[in-house]
Amino acid sequence: MNRMISPADDARALAEEGQAVRDFIKSNQSDTLLRLFDFLLQQSLEGRRPKEIEVAEEVFRSSAEPATAQGSRVRVGIHRLRRKLELYYGDRTGPRIVIPRGEYGLLLELPGERDVDETTAPLEPRQSGNRKSSVWILATALLLVNVALACLYFSDEIGLGENALGSTLWRGFDDTKGTKIVAGDYFMFLSKSVDTGVDEPTQDLSIADLGQFYDRVSKDPSSSYYIMDSDPRPVAMMVGDASTVSVDILESIGNLWPLIKKFRPSPATSSDLNAAMMKSSNIIYVGTLDALSPLIGAPLFEVSRFRCADTCYELVDKKTGRHFLSGSPYVLADQIVPRHDYGYIASFPGPSGKRILVISGTSDAGVRQMVNLAMDPKRLRQLGQRIHGAFGSFEALYQVRTMFSENYQSSFLVAHPIDMKGVWDQTKPLNWSPAPR
């Protein structure tokens, strides 16, 4: 448990800790986020808890937008600042600065007992409703996933997967340190259609997360972008304030679950993956390549034979120059039925020696086929022969016959060992993106 120290009681400790955090934020070159932190720190040192409108006027005072639009930016900024604090503290021990839920202010949290404050100021009515909506959607998604997994858990059709555990592909995931099953999620937001003027759910691959979205709207006051408060799409489930996981990916994880449940994996999403998780856990990623976290994607594609083209719907062989373009409905014109996709699977050691397994593809159909491959002992033996048994560090690409998200069969294209030696020792910016720009 942890104990909270009021800034009024120990302003010096908060100020000292705040300076260290401020230096970290400043090093990330985010002026708007730094202004937000400075304002909250100053207000907290004075014993004040500013209202949302005060934060909007102070941090976004150059914007001519209505207060409601500014409020949306404040909430995105607070979310981003919380993530930045999580990144800074990671597995550090000792005091840490936190932003209490429902408040715009900073508190210093020390190791010890936590005094639960039941008098925390409530959110403003509109914001409270939005949070309840997001929480309700999250609870619904988790309920549906749990029902699906429970059905699979008690099904009899798990013999094929159980036999696959004998493959060296799965060696090392049964250690006592635990495993994370990471679902590839997408950043979604609402944007006003130029043609109809109606708000539509949008995924812009040049905006990969809340931080980039926050930067976009901060620099463009005239933009009509909003964080989604609920998910209007029947084909995806909201798992966070602006994050969705495809139902097809959830089904793929469900299909894999009977095989990996003995590893006792705990769930996470790609956007939640952090350095502490990669240090303490084996990682099994299930999702498309464009949803892969830069923490995994940057080092992997540094040594991979492939790179993403304009998006990860299309891969390019660095050695031969050959292109592999998915027939995903997202990149084809209307009335065209997709007939092929590409599945990608890779395994390699993480920075602390833990196993990282990427079960992926250029679209959902490719992911589903790679899940089937990972559960099939015969196909794993065939793959093992092609990579000379180097399941500890390899990558492979398959072409998948498909119709939308349904996959029918796959054919082998490329497989080879990959050399991760020295990759984790290099200090490079995480500039890998599913949509290079």
- Does 26 have pLDDT greater than 70? yes
Q: What is the mean pLDDT of residues 252-259?
A: 89
Residue 211: what pLDDT?
67
Q: Which residues of 418-429 are buried (b: 16+ CB within 10 A; e: fewer)?
A: bebeebeeeeee
Torsion of CA 299, 303, 308, 314, to 10 degrees: -130
Share of the chain above pLDDT 90, in %: 24
Share of the chain above pLDDT 70, in %: 63
Q: What is the mean pLDDT of residues 371-383?
A: 92
Cα distance between residue 396 and residue 339, in whole Å: 20
Residue 61: what pLDDT?
64
Residue 130: what pLDDT?
42
Reference 247, options 235, 256, 255; nearest CA is 235
- Does 146 have pLDDT greater than 70? no
The model's confidence at residue 437, banded by pLDDT at 50, 70 and 90, is very low
Judge whether 219 and 208 are in contact, CB under 8 Å. Answer: no
Q: What is the mean pLDDT of residues 415-426?
A: 87
Residue 247: what pLDDT?
79
The model's confidence at residue 93, banded by pLDDT at 50, 70 and 90, is confident
Cα distance between residue 56 and residue 89, in whole Å: 26
Q: Count CB atoms within 10 A of the CB of residue 378.
A: 10
Residue 166: what pLDDT?
58
Q: What's the predicted TM-score (pTM) here?
A: 0.62
Lowest mean pLDDT among 24-38, 86-100, 218-232: 218-232
Residue 131: what pLDDT?
39
Judge whether 363 and 314 are in contact, CB under 8 Å. Answer: no
- Edge-to-edge strand order for the sheet containing 2-5? 2-5, 107-111, 96-98
Residue 391: what pLDDT?
93
SS3 string, 65-94, reads CCHHHHHHHHHHHHHHHHHHHHHHHCCCCC
Reference 207, options 226, 229, 182, 233; nearest CA is 226
Most confident of 56-60, 148-152, 155-159, 183-187: 183-187
Residue 383: what pLDDT?
94
Please indicate whether residue 292 or residue 311 has the higher confidence score (pLDDT).
292
Is residue 113 classed exposed, middle or buried when 0-12, 13-18 and 19+ CB atoms within 10 A define those classes? exposed
Q: Which amino acid is at 285?
A: Y
Q: What is the mean pLDDT of residues 402-424?
A: 83
Cα distance between residue 286 and residue 162, in whole Å: 19
Q: What is the mean pLDDT of residues 377-404?
A: 91
- Does 100 have pLDDT greater than 90? no
Mean pLDDT of the chain: 75
Give the model confidence (pLDDT) of 69-87 as tens digits: 555 678 778 877 887 888 7
Lowest mean pLDDT among 45-59, 67-81, 270-284, 334-348: 67-81
The model's confidence at residue 348, banded by pLDDT at 50, 70 and 90, is very high
Residue 154: what pLDDT?
41
Q: What is the mean pLDDT of residues 45-65?
A: 78
Residue 349: what pLDDT?
92
The model's confidence at residue 112, banded by pLDDT at 50, 70 and 90, is low
- Edge-to-edge strand order for the sheet containing 236-238? 186-187, 243-246, 236-238
Residue 347: what pLDDT?
95
Q: Which amino acid is at 334?
A: D
Residue 379: what pLDDT?
92
- Does 324 have pLDDT greater than 60? yes
- Does 29 have pLDDT greater than 80? no
Lowest mean pLDDT among 110-114, 128-132, 433-437: 128-132
Angstrom distances, CA of residue 282 to CA of 191, 273, 364, 373, 419: 37, 12, 23, 20, 19
Residue 304: what pLDDT?
95
Residue 232: what pLDDT?
36
Give the model confidence (pLDDT) of 205-244 as tens digits: 667 666 677 676 666 655 566 555 443 333 334 444 566 7
- Does 47 have pLDDT greater than 50? yes
Q: What is the mean pLDDT of residues 339-354?
A: 91
